Chain A
């Protein structure tokens, strides 16, 4: 009985989750008149995709987004792993104070810092570069916090055993901590990728030219707050933007789900 209930609940949740996507698909392949009317005989069209594609340089935007999330993720993995390792396993004066400072960063909404961050990027000469979009996010407090907790939960005995075998601090990190923290790293990577794939305001503010702008900025052209949205067009553009991420998720689905189960975050 409870099994059946689980199945029903899973289907309901699944249907809820997929509904917006199904709607976007429906709206994108039909003329505007059918955007909110369900009629199986409605004529199919790919014109919406063609029009959306023509309005913004999507291949360029997708490439930019790809470079951006990859760069951020690579830097985050390196920085957060090293910082978390330091906080978790080394005793040094001021460690707790420092860690508190890192946590403070978690409490501040990034939007508050936009003007200040922009000024910093301007002084560094990084306005209108992909590095400029990514830099403020690279030392991620969330990543440090998450990995520190994971490292702390790894049994000290493993650490001791490796030391007896003659492993140095960095060797320990590479051979013991990182392999054991893999589920957390993968889960964190997924959160990071989807967050930065979707990030809009900061990339818009700090960039000027289409050569460096990510896909969300391109998508915003279809927002049209004053006249109201053209649903077929915005659906087509949305599908173009989410497809790469969606494909990646479907391909790596099994690993992701397992990582989340292990890491216990969502």
Chain B
């Protein structure tokens, strides 16, 4: 059980004796989460190995650290204990909490050359929305997703709908869903998951109804605005009034399975699912941008790179090099193909690999096409508690326990109380 320790010590001793390795070797430790299926730890390891080959003076320990919450706990615990951690991939919406805890540094402090500054501008603005706060860039997009609509083309054909013209508005979606729903309950028209990431799905509905959920500085929420209430009422009506979605809540984790088994003809889900759906669907399926109401829209989601304060100046420079490498167009393309996450920059969609992939599999480009309408994911100070308040309000409405207006007014009151000290 001490094997590892003594091996490291021995290696260090040998290296000192032989004077081997470049004198200015920098060692970086990076934690990252995995939150979609697939052998992703191997993809990351492969990319890191490529980086080390290209930069022999930098050694990188890339450590898989569970889901987003586990990874945050782990990175912060390591930092507080004085263990090395120079950068990590954490939830994009954790930015405010990380800033408040004073553990991260903005990329602008390290990316100073003209080249670096151009690089900061090279990403899709929609993906930077969660990472740029008070004029500074705290997060660089890496494993980013958005919500899209998956639909079963075979089911569309079966009921006489055009499989190449998915519904583009709420009312079209309701009409199509009514045709697709089977009276015996063996198939629903559409399902929007309401456990796990209810606030995220709701961000899409609110935006489509012309409203954002929070202010850009993370100190205000707009849960009780009339359009937001209307959006939640629409969600509730899909099940209660139109009868095209199961009444009550829809389970996030099993929705893909239901879609694959043909139990729902349309589902709203993350692009992070694309590769998995592609691998398992036994029918012809399509992916489209989410339907809009007053306007189209979908929030982005996923993880950003953050630079930690505990890194020394040399380590910060090396960390920046690593982040640049990992988000370079070729790697972003490779990552997107392997996972279904988005290519993070326009240039990544211009790479031969991703162009060829999008040509052969057009759904891969849908997320990109939606980016022009995308907004930041719900992210505020006291983020965890505010998301919980909104999640509770959504679920209370969907299960019929409270009317939308009342539930959202309560959530807003709670958010106001939590955010008061930050205004």
Contact = CB atoms under 8 A, between A and B. Distances in A.
Nearest to A127: B83
A125 B280 CA distance: 46
B421 interface: no
Given A36-B261, A224-B36, A205 B77 contact: yes
Interface residues of A, number: 44
Interface residues of B, number: 53
B41 A130 contact: no
Contacts of B256: 227-228
Nearest to A32: B280
B82 interface: yes
B273 A228 contact: yes
A212 B73 CA distance: 19
A220 B65 CA distance: 10
Interface stretch (B247-255, B315-323, B388-396): B247-255
A209 interface: yes
B66 A229 contact: no
B76 A115 contact: yes
Interface in B28-86: 29, 34-42, 61, 63-68, 70, 73-74, 76-78, 80-83
Nearest to B263: A36
Contacts of A37: 261
B346 interface: no
Contact of A131 (B2, B39, B42): B2
A71 B2 CA distance: 13
Contact of A230 (B40, B67, B255, B276): B276
A128 B4 contact: yes
Interface string A195-236: 000000100110011011000010011111111111101000
Contact of B35 (A119, A131, A201, A227): A227
A131 B282 contact: no
A231 B2 CA distance: 37
Given A128-B4, A204-B66, A220-B70, 19 more contacts: A33-B280, A115-B73, A118-B77, A119-B80, A119-B82, A121-B81, A122-B78, A122-B81, A127-B78, A127-B83, A129-B1, A130-B1, A204-B70, A208-B63, A211-B3, A221-B41, A224-B36, A226-B35, A231-B254
14 contacts: A32-B257, A33-B282, A55-B39, A56-B41, A115-B73, A115-B81, A119-B82, A208-B29, A208-B61, A224-B36, A226-B197, A229-B37, A229-B253, A229-B254
